[in-house]
Each structure stands twice: as structure tokens, then as C-alpha cells.
Amino acid sequence: MTATELRPGGTLPSPDAAAGTGVEQVRRLVTEVPGPRSRALHARRLAAVSRAVGSTLPVYVERAEGAVLVDVDGNQLVDLGAGIAVVNVGHAQADVVARVREQVAAVTHTCFMVTPYEGYVAVCEQLVRLAPVRRTDGDGGVRAALFNTGAEAVENAVKIARHATGRSAVVVFDHAYHGRTNLTMAMTAKAMPYKTGFGPFAGEVHRAPMSYPLRDPAGMTGEQAAARAIDVIEAQVGAAQVACVVIEPVQGEGGFVVPAPGFLPALSAWCAANGVLLVADEVQTGFARTGDVFASEHEDVRPDLVTMAKGIAGGLPLAAVAGRAEVMDAPHTGGLGGTYGGNPVACAAALGAIGAMEALDLPAAARRIEAQVRGVLEPLAAVHPGIGEVRGRGAMIAVEVVQPGTTLPDAASTAAISAACHAAGVVTLTCGTHGNVLRLLPPLTIEPALLADGLDVLATAIGATLRR
């Protein structure tokens, strides 16, 4: 099989028993959560792992398939987090497993900057085809480069934008999350836990107001919210100083904030008119998560650069930046790179994941998940004044929990709901600048019955926590 041949058939049973672990797609608890073996591992961990690295749910996972995690005590948990939007194709997806196996036995590493290999080129070919990049008359097409993590992709997008424009300022938004490296900490909004004590931060990063319909003045349109942000940029930074505006089309860690319609197109138009590059950080929203391959496509926004990671490679570490050739080729040869960027095994996984995304039509699956999730959560919002909003897009839906009758955040209830889900064997995550957003990011291949079970647990947890 050549690396460019995308193998369909992700729905087929795994080619051999070991490729899939044969995990029945049901929730099943045989001990309390976490169970005794997880607790023992946790004790070992405390003596070896820095406590600065946290875990949402200290249940130690032994294997996983589809949307079910099997822990070391034999409990089967419903995974509504997908490793933070990573295994969009499901755990142990057959094509990803088969390609990784084949690749790991052939060659694991040469460093693409030393002696290249086909998989890197094949992944970039796929990204060139898929990335919703703005095209201009007579441009030289689209190019991509591969890295290891989302933060590294964002850093490189900024490097490329600065080199291509000869400008230095970077504009980001309230509630933004872009990573944990020095530059991306500066770009991330939230202090705890991401920034506190870790400064000083990189300079020339400027923050503009985000469109946040729940918290903006009633009736504010996307265009008005964009004008508010543009006014801040022009007054406080100056358009001619700005290399790039970096934005998550739907904010992830910041609370699944979906900007009002018209916000992104207006921002994009301002960028194009001012020689500012628009960078869409699609690290969390990419690869079918929001019902399109990339969330920018929803309003037909065409960024100059797109950052990607997470869902790109079905669980292996890989990240990318794609953009117009004139922008991507601006830095000198040798100006971008890294030892592991575009590792052959990660590239093999990406070819499997991208092939499965298309063969299984995962954008359509994300839209079906949205309908199922909203079908459960919206009726709850109607009876619980503590639910400020149900929002998101595709398989990226969240509940913002507030003190009834206000928009004041209620982080304590959010944590209580999430903890109740965990105890019942459903992995849920929280997010939001104020920690009061409960978010769902299931694998896009989750079976409807399993999702229904997970949502049932969540609904019970909400009912037991919030006052009517």
C-alpha cells in the first residue's frame, strides 16, 4: 500500500483481534470510580510524576476502542472528551491502527530535515486539499508544514506571519486559548492554571474583545462585535503594526464561545483590507469536529493560515500549519522545522485518520451528534434557570452554568455535575474562563445508544445539582 492511498472502510471490523481490542460499546462499572487499581497507580504517580501535571479524572486507562475507555479495574467508561477533541475517528480506529503498525515496523524516525520520506509529503498533500485557505489571483497554491503540538503550530503560524508581513504585532481575543509555551501563554487569556507564576511573557501580543453573545449587550450583531474589536486594534495597536489576528472560530478552552454570525467574516474582511494575516486556530475545531472539516467553512471564512493538531492524527502527536504558498514560503529555507515535526508514525496515523474522516463522513456524524445532544440539553435548559446557555456547533456542544436569573458564573455547580458524571462512568470535561462551562467532545464515531446513555447520566447529574 502506498502512503497516498487512503483506505476506506473504517466501519469494518478490525483486521485482526489485536488491532481492535473488541471492547463492547457499553458503559459498565465493576468497582467504584476510581477503583482500587487506579488508586494504587495514583499513589505510585504521586511519588514519581510532578504534581504540576494534573488529571481531570484519575482513572488509569488500559485500553480503549470507539468511545469506550477500559480502566485498570475493568470499568468501561463512556468517553465524551475524546482526549480533548483528539480521537475524532474513535479510539483504536482500524485504519489508524493498521497504518501505524505498518509504519512503525518500516521506519520510525529519520528527521524530515535530514532525510525526508513520503508520509510527510502525503499528509501535506491532504492538508493542501482540505485547508480552507484564502486564495488570491495568481497565487502559487497552498502549502503546509508539520509540527508536533497545537502550541507549536500556533508559534510557527506567528513566525510565518511576522516573516511574511515584516510586522510584529499579534492580536488575540478575550477567552482565547492557544497553548502553554511562552508565546502561546502570552496569547492565552486565562491566568489560572495556564499563566500564573510563569511570566514574563512574550511581547507584542494584544487582546481584543471577542463576540460572546450570552455576555454581549442584547442584540449586538456579529458585525457590531467585529467593529468593537477592530476599534480596539486600530486605537491601541495600529493596523499597520499587525502581522496577524489569531482566532479560534469556535473557542475551545475559553468556553465553546461561538461568535455571533457575521463576526468572523467582518474580521476577515478587515484583515484583508489592511494587509493583516488572519490565522484560524483550528486545533480544537478541526477535522470534522464542528460539522465541517474546518469550522471556518461554516461562514465561508478563508483564513490566510490555518493551525491544526488534535484530530489530525487519531491520537498520535502531530500538528500543522497550512496557508497560501506566498505566505508559507516567506521564511528562508531552514527557518522552520524541528527534530520530530511530521514524524513518520504520526504521519501514517494522520493518513488513516483523514481517510476515515472522509470514508465515514464524520462532518455529517458531528451534525447528527449535535442534534442528539441538543435534543437532551435544550429541554433541560428550559426548566433549569441555572443553565445560562446551551451552545456550540456539531460535536462541540457545551452548557454554561450560571447563578439562576443572572449571567454570573457558577463554577461550583459545574464541577459538581462533572464529578457526578465521572462517578457514574462518563468522562466529561469543563472549560471557560470562569470554569463554569461543561463541554462535550465525543468521538465522532460514537454509537447513538452509547451517546444516549452518556447524556442520560449527564441529565441526571444536572437534575441532581441544579435547582429548578
Binding site for ligand PLZ (CB under 6 A): 84, 149-151, 154, 177-180, 248, 252-253, 281, 283-284, 309
CB within 8 Å of 150: residues ≥ 6 apart: 178, 179, 281, 283, 284, 307, 309, 310, 319
DSSP secondary structure letter of residue 117? -
Q: Rank residues 35 and 291 by Cβ distance to ligand PLZ and give the closer one.
A: 291
Q: How far is the CB of 248 from ligand PLZ (least distance, A)?
A: 5
Q: How far is the CB of 240 from ligand PLZ (least distance, A)?
A: 27
Q: How far is the CB of 281 from ligand PLZ (least distance, A)?
A: 5
Q: Which residue has the cell 514519581?
A: 48
Q: Rank residues 177 and 294 by Cβ distance to ligand PLZ and give the closer one.
A: 177
CB within 8 Å of 48: residues ≥ 6 apart: none
Q: How far is the CB of 16 from ligand PLZ (least distance, A)?
A: 31
Q: Rank residues 22 and 199 by Cβ distance to ligand PLZ and give the closer one.
A: 199
**Residue 466 in grid coordinates:** 441544579
Buried b or exposed e, range 37-61, using 16+ CB within 10 angstroms: bbbebeeeeeeeeeeeeeeebebbb
Q: Rank residues 179 and 386 by Cβ distance to ligand PLZ and give the closer one.
A: 179
Q: Rank residues 20 and 255 by Cβ distance to ligand PLZ and give the closer one.
A: 255
Q: How far is the CB of 53 from ligand PLZ (least distance, A)?
A: 10
Per the DSSP assignment, residues forming a β-bridge with 392 are: 397
Q: How far is the CB of 79 from ligand PLZ (least distance, A)?
A: 16
What are the CA-CA distances from residue 231 to residues 226, 237, 268, 272, 466 (Å)? 8, 10, 14, 16, 40
Q: Rank residues 120 and 177 by Cβ distance to ligand PLZ and give the closer one.
A: 177
Contact 430, 439 (CB under 8 A): yes
Q: Rank residues 92 and 429 by Cβ distance to ligand PLZ and give the closer one.
A: 429
φ, ψ (nearest 5 deg) of residue 399: -115, 120
* Integer Cα distance of 437 and 430 in angstroms: 5
Q: How far is the CB of 427 from ligand PLZ (least distance, A)?
A: 14
